[in-house]
Structure 1
Amino acid sequence: MKKILKISSLAFLLIAGVACENDDQTIAQAVGGPELITPASGTEYELSPANETNEATTLVWNHADYDVQTEVNYEVQVALAGTDFAEVISGGTTTNRFFTWSVAALNQVAIDAGLTPYTPGNLDVRVRGTLGANAEMESFSNVITITVTAYTTELPKLAVPGNHQGWDPPTAPRIASSGFGETDYEGYVWLDGAFKFVGPNAAGAFAWGNTDWGDDGSFSGVLAESGESDITATAGYYRVTANTTTLLYNIVPTNWGIVGAATAGGWDNSTPLTYNATTKKWEGTIVMTAGAYKFRANNAWDINLGADSDLDGSMNYGGPDLTVDADGTYNVVLDLSNPRQYTYSVTLQ
């Protein structure tokens, strides 16, 4: 009888213990959400790539209340204003009660949310709190609305589809404008037969059905959006320009070389480079002496490239002379495949 009582008592204690354990698992509940204190709703931010490492703002909030002493995970959430967070952009996560956005970070959040660069737009911001990895225990702060003028360092581009690559806009080579909002497109493209220009859609994708341009039928360098004809070129490597405001275009065949005191031809005759269709670069193994040189097309000075004097990451037309410091044989590479981001390398062998 005593054994039965002991077993019954042990069973009762085990059941009570399980019940207590289950009670412990349900004690943690979201009693109150975090309260976003700063920045104030209505704050405006005009961002610039010139100071993208600087602090743009620091968000500060009160702790979410989970009725237990435990660490809370926070996520800053962002959405286009007035969309009720239908599409949430994560602005960052932390276990602190604050989160700092650099200029670059806030700009990326704004672009990801869908704001148009250089145009003020409104974003809704809130803080989501969760306990551990339990997604059911989430709480949300109040919502603030901020105004952000974002920027982009990506140059607008046109695709150049045609016979040279199978008439496929998504994979076609690109030409780029000189800046956001500018329509003076330029780039270097291997052409072979007919081609057109195709603009991107609102999402930045290139496809037939977007705005596209061809020749107006006069074949005198004038673009047309409707009733256009294919533009044609004999096989070769071209400097291609197009302006979608003035509706003018031009293609100039180019063959590149180097010229200068460092080369055998001096400043009068270019030493030719060879186009590599696989790498899309101009290449050569050239004996050079210590001295100055530049890159130029067609053994003439109409199109020449020198040093990056404005420090924008691209060689400059008519830029300063380049130099080599020692005599020797050099591997010379000129890369014009990225529109308006022209680079070179000269490597001693």
Structure 2
Amino acid sequence: MKKLRLLFIAFIALLSFTACTEDDDFTFTAKPDPDGINFMNTPAETYTLSAANSNNLAERFVWNEVDFDVQTPVNYELQASTEENFSSYDVLGDITQTNLAVTVGQMLELAEEAGLDNDPETEALNTGNVYFKVRAYVGANAGNVVAQTSEILMVSVTLPEETGDVIELKRELYLVGDATAAGWNNNNNNTPLFRDAENDDLYYFEGRFAGGADVQGFKLLESLGNWQPQWGLNEGVATSSEDLDNDPQAFTVSNDAYYSFTINVADGTYSFDEVDASASATYESIGIIGDSTPAGWDADTDMTQSEFNPHIWYTKDFVFNDGEFKFRANDAWDVSWGIALAAISGETNLGGENITATPGTYSIWFNDLDGRFLLIPQVAE
């Protein structure tokens, strides 16, 4: 009887081991996504590439999320080639996100691989095409991989003759605080101040501040996503945390109203005065138009209107080519803004001259109260 009991126990153990082994061998079966994978971004008509702007953002490639019906992260591989058949290619990124920033420098490398140059003394062309596609996959590259690949996206690139136009990165100042659109968030599409076209230490802003008894006010940041350096007040003088070795106090705001704010960071002087903006026009749309823009002189590229302040307009990752541009309201020429001389920031005039564009990718801000604009060169992350 004892032997029978031992044999029964051994049989149960064998069954348990077999069940465990079968569980360990269980795998999910990946299935292709019936919707496939496709690029969501629309490329510019052509990308003007200059070595001086190598760190600037050329294009952020965006694609849809792919569902392989398995509980495992999906990897995305952005590929670039100088050949439409992708007989050879470079992998620009292997990530789990559904977007990837490509710099002017990376585009230039592809253009040079394609035999393009900007030397007028050679027979090589300075305009041509490069190609992109994105591959989604699960599994190890060595085997057991299920993958899908997008259609090929053709991109036109131009290497202009060098004219000396260089995008200079300058100090920016961004509003932060509970009196501002961003609140106390250092990376919430914070509205910038508008730098003077001739004096890099002088900044302006005319617009709404949400003041009140329970409001702390606002400060200024030099870099989105970073609290240092920050600008504020110390004993009535505008100063930065770098000069104080600690954080300055906030600028206080008495009322929820429109103010004119000017600050000179070189000497710490500033002015902050309430203004009456009730008679100022409010526009349904403001756009950028010109032969330097994606739609040329045929159509505007509309900007986004601030929900906090209807007189502030902005757009991100905007690509300028060689040429000129203006701002105009309501998709018509009744109200437009231009300037006699090109500037990274400055004050436009109603009906003024076309503004000369320096090729590159920018975040653009416009204030229809005083006509000031700001072009912030975008550097890929």
TM-score (structure 1 length as normaliser): 0.38
Between Structure 1 and Structure 2, the one with more strand by share is 1
TM-score (structure 2 length as normaliser): 0.35
Q: Which has the larger radius of gyration?
A: 1
